[in-house]
């Protein structure tokens, strides 16, 4: 049985229809991606299915045992609890059962020869607790929180001290851990870096329930989903398969619709040609009858479209369309045939184009002994090997959030000086920079004023025509930049960038907030771009299509690693960089020797102390793990002595809690010895 079934589902706000007549099903274990342009109504549909809003018309039937976990784009999570405590609220049933087990253990420990009923209650509850993962829930919490990017040190932070993006991740963790059998996600990969997105992909692939998501992450959809729901102004379509399969099926459907339209239009033109040739001749009655039928058919196509009338008799069509009995003139029929709308459901596309004004040199960028970071920082964020970027190449810069990707771009642009080394840019370069925060947009300006700042337009109409190519039509040109949506700001920033005629583009998350159609257009344009691109992006689909090199910031090694090829090659480790030989250390000046030696000795002493403690922790962890195995084996076959059973349960929890604390300490010690930042 389907988890959710809809019949004739419609939603409107006032006189504005968002969608109508949707008949949908969400099967068990399905993985569905809902795609469509921004503002089309995707979030509204999710809200209806999640029972947050009510439909204007139609019905929604939900399975009796359905438990929905809903992740909105912006989390409203507000709590004084720590992150760990907040996550525990998703496991209330297990926590309650754990408390009941403790009480039963206490009762059995206080009563000699406890009743058989008490033993049965304890055994039954313990079996259920185990089946629901009661003995592993703490490790699962650590796994999920770590998977989506939280460090052990952050587990004890107050939720109210987390950023908006961190709160959304916290809610995501709660939903993944809660006993839901349908997850409804609105942009789940927002606020996640690539490593966390990959972890989430694996988790959702193994999830026992169903997933329905809105996402602009094409690679994520490709990896996770097996159904695509497409919303557009032309209607609603469903496709089987992942994103790549959807693209092929959609293209075939468009071509099929286009063929039907052209064939029908040609038939109408041929019939009208017969009418024109015979309307005043001997076959006038036949021509007038054909013109009357032609007039009726044109009206039907105008009202319901060519697809709706295919293969239907007029008796059936007359129930759906309302035509006049008057006959068109041949001239009117000619104009109305020419004006018939193409039924292809291709969405309106951004018509962008990146040109170069001049050809730059073959060498675009070269670094030498470069270290990237801020002058007031304690140390460099990362070091960069001597790398080279050539004309018409595309380097994709990837790494965790906060690793320093934007800082590297600013270093290349000389907005931030390097801590050491140099960045050399090639000759005849015009650099265009797309900033993640669109900081070059002036909020006080209108869209038209903003584009006129950078474009040499001969008239206002010319500027508005240019904006129309970026889907700013009509009164959109007079909107204030301050009220634009994220997608509109992104399109405006791209519109400005395309006027720069740059031959080197530095793009910092260019697909953020763009709908999938605009992402596809940008990808196509950049593939044809004759210049060079340095790209920072979480969009693996875009990276895979464009990149000739992958530059990965390794935060553990505090260095940038170069991989040749696209994202797929990087994933498969098809090309591995050889380990560089360690250079000989430079000699310290004699006058600094004693200070340096003292500092090194202190650091070595601290490391020795950490290493000794690490050995103690590892030894204790090993003992606890053996103890837990022994206790678990005894609990699996409990003795008849209730007091002994209670004691075993108590010892198991004590050992588990100690193990949890030691695992956190072990991670911190490992990080400190590796030279990582533990603050």
pLDDT bracket for residue 233 (50, 70, 90): confident
Average pLDDT over residues 297-313: 76
Two tokens, residue 148: 């989506």
pLDDT of residue 321 exceeding 90: no
pLDDT bracket for residue 654 (50, 70, 90): confident
Average pLDDT over residues 212-230: 96
Give the pLDDT score at 235.
Answer: 83
Sheet hosting strand 31-35, strand order edge to edge: 68-71, 182-186, 210-214, 31-35, 227-232, 235-240
| Cβ–Cβ under 8 Å, residues 205 and 224 | yes
For 111-140, what is each residue's pLDDT tens digit? Answer: 665 678 888 888 899 899 888 888 889 999
pLDDT of residue 406 exceeding 60: yes
Q: Which residue has the tokens 């104009």?
A: 335
Two tokens, residue 440: 């070059």
Give the pLDDT score at 591.
Answer: 42
Average pLDDT over residues 29-54: 94
Please list, in sequence order, all residues whose beta carbon lies within 8 angstroms of the beta carbon of residue 332, skipping any fewer than 6 positions away.
none
pLDDT bracket for residue 154 (50, 70, 90): very high
pLDDT bracket for residue 164 (50, 70, 90): confident
Two tokens, residue 644: 């002994």
Give the pLDDT score at 580.
Answer: 45
Instruction: Determine the distance from the C-alpha atom of residue 189 to the mean position of all C-alpha atoms in its chain, rounded to a whole number.
Output: 3
What does pLDDT average to over the chain?
86
Give the pLDDT score at 114.
Answer: 61
3-class SS letters over 2-27 = CCEEEEEEEEEECCEEEEEEECCEEC
Please list, in sequence order, all residues whose beta carbon lies within 8 angstroms of the beta carbon of residue 532, skipping any fewer than 6 positions away.
360, 364, 365, 389, 390, 391, 392, 393, 394, 503, 504, 505
pLDDT of residue 346 exceeding 80: no
* The CATH number of domain 1-67+180-233, selected from 3.40.50.720, 3.40.50.920, 3.40.50.300, 3.30.1330.200: 3.40.50.300
d(CA 211, CA 68): 10
Give the pLDDT score at 625.
Answer: 67
For 526-536, what is each residue's pLDDT tens digit? Answer: 999 999 999 99
Q: Would you mind telling me the total number of residues written for the chain in this entry?
A: 679
pLDDT of residue 69 exceeding 90: yes
Average pLDDT over residues 473-496: 92
Give the pLDDT score at 319.
Answer: 61
Q: What is the H or E stretch that residue 309 is in?
A: helix 306-309
Give the pLDDT score at 64.
Answer: 92
Q: Which residue has the tokens 């992150």?
A: 83
**Long-range contacts: 557-565, Cβ < 8 Å, 24+?**
558/379, 558/380, 558/381, 558/382, 558/383, 558/675, 559/382, 559/383, 559/384, 559/385, 560/382, 560/383, 560/384, 560/385, 560/387, 560/408, 561/385, 562/385, 562/387
Please state which CATH class domain 363-571 belongs to. Answer: alpha beta
For 80-99, what is each residue's pLDDT tens digit? Answer: 899 999 999 999 999 999 99
Average pLDDT over residues 442-470: 93
For 569-581, what is each residue's pLDDT tens digit? Answer: 998 864 444 444 4
Give the pLDDT score at 323.
Answer: 67
pLDDT of residue 490 exceeding 60: yes
| Cβ–Cβ under 8 Å, residues 545 and 517 | no
3-state secondary structure of 265: helix
For 622-638, what is each residue's pLDDT tens digit? Answer: 787 678 777 766 776 77
Q: Which neighbouring-strand residues pair with 560?
A: 553
| Cβ–Cβ under 8 Å, residues 617 and 668 | no
> Higher pLDDT residue, 112 or 227?
227
| DSSP sequence for 518-579 | HHHHHHHHHHH-SSEEEEE-S-HHHHHHH-SEEEEEETTTTEEEEEES-HHHHHTT-S-PPP
Q: Where are the beta strands (DSSP E) in 151-221?
A: 182-186, 210-214
pLDDT above 90: percentage of residues in the chain: 56
Average pLDDT over residues 273-281: 87
Helix and strand tally (H, E) in the chain?
Answer: 22, 20
- pTM of the predicted model as reported, rounded to 2 decimal places: 0.76
d(CA 189, CA 214): 10
End-to-end CA, the chain? 50
3-class SS letters over 562-620 = EEECCHHHHHCCCCCCCCCCCCCCCCCCHHHHHHHHHHHHHHHHHHHHHHHHHHHHHHH
Exposed, middle or buried: residue 3 (CB in 10 Å: 0-12, 13-18, 19+)? buried
pLDDT of residue 160 exceeding 80: yes
| Cβ–Cβ under 8 Å, residues 328 and 279 | no
Q: Where are the beta strands (DSSP E) in 202-323?
A: 210-214, 227-232, 235-240
pLDDT of residue 620 exceeding 70: yes
Between the CA atoms of 414, 419, 425 and 429, what dihedral angle is there, to the nearest 10 degrees? Answer: -10
Q: Which of 259, 247, 333, 266 is nearest to 297 (CA)?
A: 333
Task: Count Cα atoms within 13 angstroms, Cβ side, for 420.
Answer: 10
pLDDT above 70: percentage of residues in the chain: 88
Q: Where are the beta strands (DSSP E) in 215-308?
A: 227-232, 235-240
pLDDT bracket for residue 593 (50, 70, 90): very low
Average pLDDT over residues 30-56: 94
Q: What is the H or E stretch that residue 504 is in?
A: strand 504-508
Q: Which of 588, 502, 518 is nearest to 510 (CA)?
A: 518
Give the pLDDT score at 594.
Answer: 42
pLDDT of residue 310 exceeding 60: yes
| Cβ–Cβ under 8 Å, residues 499 and 454 | yes
For 3-25, what is each residue's pLDDT tens digit? Answer: 999 999 999 998 888 999 999 99
Q: How many CB atoms lie within 10 A of CB 427?
A: 9
Q: Which of 542, 192, 191, 193 is nearest to 396 (CA)?
A: 542
Give the pLDDT score at 614.
Answer: 76
pLDDT of residue 558 exceeding 80: yes
Average pLDDT over residues 559-584: 71
Two tokens, residue 549: 């090199």
Give the pLDDT score at 316.
Answer: 61
pLDDT of residue 595 exceeding 60: no
Eight-class DSSP state of 341 = P
Q: What are phi and psi of 334, to 5 degrees?
A: -60, -50
d(CA 230, CA 299): 28
| Cβ–Cβ under 8 Å, residues 231 and 45 | yes
């Amino acid at each position: 049985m389907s988890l959710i079934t809809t019949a004739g589902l419609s939603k409107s706000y006032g006189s504005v229809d968002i969608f109508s007549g949707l008949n949908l099903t969400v099967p068990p274990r399905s993985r569905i991606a809902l795609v469509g342009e921004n503002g089309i109504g995707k979030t509204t549909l999710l809200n209806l299915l999640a029972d947050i809003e009510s439909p204007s018309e139609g019905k929604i039937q939900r399975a009796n045992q359905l438990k929905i976990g809903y992740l909105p784009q912006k989390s409203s999570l507000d709590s004084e609890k720590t992150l760990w405590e907040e996550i525990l609220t998703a496991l209330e049933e297990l926590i309650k059962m754990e408390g009941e087990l403790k009480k039963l253990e206490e009762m059995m420990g206080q009563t000699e020869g406890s009743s058989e009923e008490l033993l049965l209650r304890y055994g039954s509850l313990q079996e259920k607790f185990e089946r629901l993962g009661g003995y592993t829930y703490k490790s699962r919490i650590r796994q999920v929180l770590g998977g989506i990017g939280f460090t052990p040190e952050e587990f004890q932070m107050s939720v109210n001290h987390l950023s908006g993006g961190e709160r959304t991740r916290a809610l995501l963790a709660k939903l993944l851990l809660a006993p839901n059998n349908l997850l409804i996600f609105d942009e789940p990969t927002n606020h996640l870096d690539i490593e966390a997105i990959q972890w989430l992909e694996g988790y959702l692939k193994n999830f026992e329930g169903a997933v329905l998501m809105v996402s602009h992450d094409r690679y994520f959809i490709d990896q996770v989903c097996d159904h695509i729901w497409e919303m557009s102004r032309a209607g609603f379509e469903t496709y089987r398969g992942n994103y790549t399969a959807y693209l092929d099926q959609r293209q075939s459907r468009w071509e099929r619709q286009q063929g039907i339209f052209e064939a029908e239009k040609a038939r109408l033109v041929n019939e009208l040609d017969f009418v024109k040739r015979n309307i005043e001749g001997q076959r006038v009655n036949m021509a007038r009858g054909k013109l009357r039928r032609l007039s009726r058919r044109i009206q039907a196509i105008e009202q319901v479209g060519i697809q709706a009338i295919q293969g239907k008799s007029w008796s059936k069509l007359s129930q759906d369309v309302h035509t006049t009995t008057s006959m068109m003139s041949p001239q009117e029929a000619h104009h109305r045939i020419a004006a018939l709308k193409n039924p292809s459901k291709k969405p309106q596309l951004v018509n962008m184009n990146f040109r170069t004004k001049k050809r730059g040199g073959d060498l675009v960028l070269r670094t030498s002994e470069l270290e990237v970071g801020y002058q007031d920082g304690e140390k460099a964020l990362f070091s960069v090997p001597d790398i080279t970027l050539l004309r018409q190449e595309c380097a994709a810069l990837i790494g965790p959030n906060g690793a320093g990707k934007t800082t590297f771009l600013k270093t290349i642009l000389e907005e931030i000086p390097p801590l050491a080394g140099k960045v050399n840019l090639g000759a005849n370069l015009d650099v265009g920079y797309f900033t993640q925060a669109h900081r070059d947009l002036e909020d006080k300006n209108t869209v038209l004023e903003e584009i006129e700042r950078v474009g040499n337009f001969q008239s206002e109409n010319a500027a508005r025509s240019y904006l129309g190519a970026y889907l700013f039509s009509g009164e959109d040109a007079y909107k204030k930049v301050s009220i634009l949506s994220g997608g509109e700001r992104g399109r405006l920033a791209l519109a400005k960038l395309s006027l720069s005629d740059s031959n080197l583009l530095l793009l910092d998350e260019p697909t953020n907030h763009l709908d999938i159609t605009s992402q596809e257009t940008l990808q196509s344009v950049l593939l044809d771009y004759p210049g060079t691109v340095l790209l920072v992006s979480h969009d693996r689909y875009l990276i895979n299509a464009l990149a000739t090199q992958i530059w990965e910031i390794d935060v553990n090694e505090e260095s940038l690693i170069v991989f040749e090829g696209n994202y797929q090659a990087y994933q498969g480790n098809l090309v591995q960089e050889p380990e560089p030989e360690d250079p000989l250390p430079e000699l310290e000046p004699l006058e600094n020797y004693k200070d340096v030696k003292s500092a090194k000795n202190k650091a070595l002493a601290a490391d020795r102390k950490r290493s000794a403690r690490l050995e103690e922790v590892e030894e204790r962890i090993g003992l606890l793990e053996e103890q837990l195995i022994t206790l678990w084996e005894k609990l699996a076959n409990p003795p008849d002595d209730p007091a002994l059973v209670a004691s075993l349960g108590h010892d198991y929890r004590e050992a588990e809690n100690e193990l949890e604390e030691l695992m956190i300490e072990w991670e911190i010690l490992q990080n400190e010895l590796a030279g990582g930042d533990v603050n």
